[in-house]
With several copies, the nearest count.
Chain A
Amino acid sequence: MDDLFIAPAIPSPETLTVSFEAWEGPLDLLLSLARTQKVDLREISILALTEQYLDFIDGARELRLELAADYLVMAAWLAYLKSSLLLPRQEQADPSPEDLALRLQLRLQRLHAMRDAAARLMARDRVGRDVFARRKPEGLRLVKKALWRASLYDLIQSYGQIRARTQPAVHIIAVRPVMTLDEAIQRVGSLVGAALDWTRLESFLPPDLDAPKAKSALASSFVAALELARQGRLEMQQDGIFAPLYLRAAPPNQEAVA
């Protein structure tokens, strides 16, 4: 499993005929080279690895392979690291080359660990490849069922509204009990001659009328009185607003004048 992701095997630096497409960058190449040391990455010699890398780049250059800039940057950095590691201790810069080497080693370990983890992950029993769920499950359904609310009152009220809205409206005008104006003129005209003195309008109405007809008779009789007065056949008198209205026949001389 460890070898699942190792890039094309590197037999030895001298016989390299491989293009750089095989690696995902300098770190990847470094890790591949490191793996050829066949030791635990924690015990790897960064110095030896640097040698390997620089040899590889040199070899690749001789083979006139196109070199990506990043590989050359890494080569330069490693060459610097190598020389620093060989320098006497007191002349070392900060961070120390040992520190830098340790970090590079750690990075290689981390990348290797993740590569290994990816391989182990992919090799697990994966759903749809190694283990299977049902291919056509019926499914659990949460059905929201509408619980319709409606009362009998809603029902009949609705029906009433439809009927009220759509039935043709027939307007029947009731035959109402009235005394016509002609009738009133006739009656008031004939009765006023019989009266000797001022007589209240109400006295001219027919007796025993029911309420609606009495109202009509009063109104018609009043209008009839006005008409007769206009014709000069009677006189009207009232002491104040809403006071009783009195009628009497007009004097004969006045009738002659008119």
Chain B
Amino acid sequence: MTPEPDDFLRAVEAALFVAETPLTPADIKLHVGEGGDLPAALGALADHYAGRGVNLVERGGRWHFQTAPDLAHILRREKDEPRKLSRAAMETLAIIAYHEPVSRAEIEAIRGVQVAKGTLDVLMEAGWVRPAGRREVPGRPLIYATTVDFLSHFGLSSRRDLPGVDDLRAAGLLDPVDLALEGLGGQSVVENDDEDA
């Protein structure tokens, strides 16, 4: 079924294998010369690699090897590492959830503490927060909102499922009990190294 590859085909194969970028037929000829039928060789190679883990593809007149699309997952193997959100991230998420869409300045006004950029990054990386356009006020600040993933992670069918302030009070979650313990100085506190502190 697979005929023994001739040297011209082998040369084309090797040239494409080592290439740093996709190659045009002219690029390939620079390496392998004119000693064969290049279109035929490319066609034969593409056929040969069609069902394999690596495919030869042509994109805009340039040829290159790439891994089969269905194998992408093995090349970027992800390892889950459970981590707990920092308090700053948790609070920022809560504010976005309750007040969305909100700008960073608004989050800071509500938290009474500056928000490090990294905090929002973490929430976006987690897939729970997304930029939701800009507010049409001077400075056009970016505004943030929660995502569908946020709802599903927290088991909410919509943001209206979030307990209201009255519910929180009834549950004792608004009691300022730990205020003294937190020792929060308020406005001048920056939670970590933030470039726009």
Interface residue A73 (Cβ < 8 Å from any Cβ of B): yes
Interface 1/0 per residue, A146-175 and B, CB below 8 Å: 111111101111111111111101000000
**Which stretch (B2-10, B35-43, B137-145, B159-167) binds chain A?**
B159-167
- Whether A74 contacts B186 in the complex (CB less than 8 A), given A127-B155, A140-B18, A140-B31, comes out as yes
Query: Does A82 interact with chain B (Cβ within 8 Å)?
Result: no
A122 lies within 8 A of chain B by Cβ: yes
Does A132 lie at the interface of the complex (its beta carbon under 8 Å from any beta carbon of B)?
yes
Decide if B82 touches A152 in the complex (CB within 8 Å).
no
Contact yes or no, B30 A104, CB < 8 A: no
- Size category of the B interface is 35 or more
Chain B residues, Cβ within 8 Å of A28: 112-113
Cβ–Cβ contact A143 & B112, under 8 A: no
Bound-state Cα–Cα, A106 to B176, Å: 13
Decide if B154 touches A143 in the complex (CB within 8 Å). no
Binary A-proximity of B172-197 (CB < 8 A = 1, otherwise 0) = 01111111011011101101000000
**Is A103 on the interface with B (CB-CB < 8 A)?**
yes
Chain B contact residues: helix, strand, loop or mixed:
mixed
CB of B85 within 8 Å of the partner chain: yes
Could you say which of A25, A121, A144, A154 contacts B191, with CB atoms under 8 Å apart?
A25
Say yes or no for A91: interface residue by CB 8 A criterion: no
Say if the beta carbon of B52 comes within 8 Å of chain A.
Answer: no
Determine whether the beta carbon of A24 is less than 8 Å from that of B191: yes
Q: Is the CB of A165 within 8 A of B184?
A: yes
Please state if A114 and B110 are interface contacts (CB–CB under 8 Å): yes
Contact in complex: B154, A126 (CB < 8 Å): yes
In the bound complex, what is the Cα–Cα distance between A137 and B65 (angstroms)? 11
Residues of A within 8 A of B178 (CB): 161
How close is A130's CB to chain B, nearest CB, in angstroms?
4
Contact mask for chain A residues 63-80; partner B; CB cutoff 8 A; 1 contact, 0 none: 000001110011001000
Interface pair A110/B173, CB less than 8 Å apart: yes
Does B111 contact A162, Cβ atoms closer than 8 Å? yes
Query: Do residues B83 and A148 form an inter-chain contact, with CB atoms below 8 A?
Result: yes
**Cβ contact of B164, chosen from A26, A116, A127, cutoff 8 A:** A116
- Residues of A with C-beta under 8 A to B164: 113, 116-117, 120
CB distance from B169 to the nearest CB of A (A): 8
- Number of inter-chain CB pairs below 8 Å: 269
Whether A165 and B75, one on each chain, are in contact in the complex, defined by CB atoms closer than 8 angstroms, is no
Q: Size range of the interface on A?
A: 35 or more
Q: How far is the CA of A26 from the CA of B178 in the complex (A)?
A: 19
Which partner residue on chain B sits nearest A166 by CB separation?
Answer: B112
Q: CA–CA, A120 to B90, complex, Å?
A: 10
Q: Across the interface, which residues of B come within 8 angstroms of A114, CB to CB?
A: 91, 94-95, 98, 110-111
User: B94 near A121 (CB under 8 angstroms)?
Assistant: yes
In the bound assembly, the distance between CA atoms of A70 and B174 in angstroms comes to: 26
| B112, B189, B191 interface centre (most CB from chain A within 10 Å) | B112
- Given A146-B125, A162-B95, A164-B174: A70 in contact with B185 (beta carbons within 8 A): yes
Known: A114-B95, A132-B75, A142-B79. A103 touches B181 (CB 8 A): yes
Q: Which of B70-97 contact A (CB under 8 A)?
A: 72, 75-85, 87-88, 90-91, 93-95, 97
Q: A115-B94, A148-B85 are in contact. List 4 more A-B contacts (CB 8 A).
A: A103-B184, A125-B72, A132-B67, A139-B20
A-B contact pairs, 27 of them (CB 8 A): A5-B87, A27-B184, A68-B189, A107-B182, A111-B111, A113-B168, A115-B94, A117-B168, A129-B72, A132-B18, A132-B67, A135-B18, A135-B19, A139-B19, A140-B31, A142-B79, A146-B83, A148-B122, A150-B85, A150-B93, A152-B154, A155-B90, A157-B173, A159-B173, A161-B178, A163-B168, A169-B176
Q: Which residues in B have some Cβ–Cβ distance to A below 8 Å?
A: 14-15, 17-21, 23, 27, 30-31, 55, 64-69, 72, 75-85, 87-88, 90-91, 93-95, 97-98, 110-113, 122, 125-126, 128, 152-156, 162-165, 168, 171, 173-179, 181-182, 184-186, 188-189, 191
Residues on A facing B (Cβ under 8 Å): 5, 24-28, 68-70, 73-74, 77, 103-104, 106-107, 109-111, 113-122, 124-152, 154-167, 169
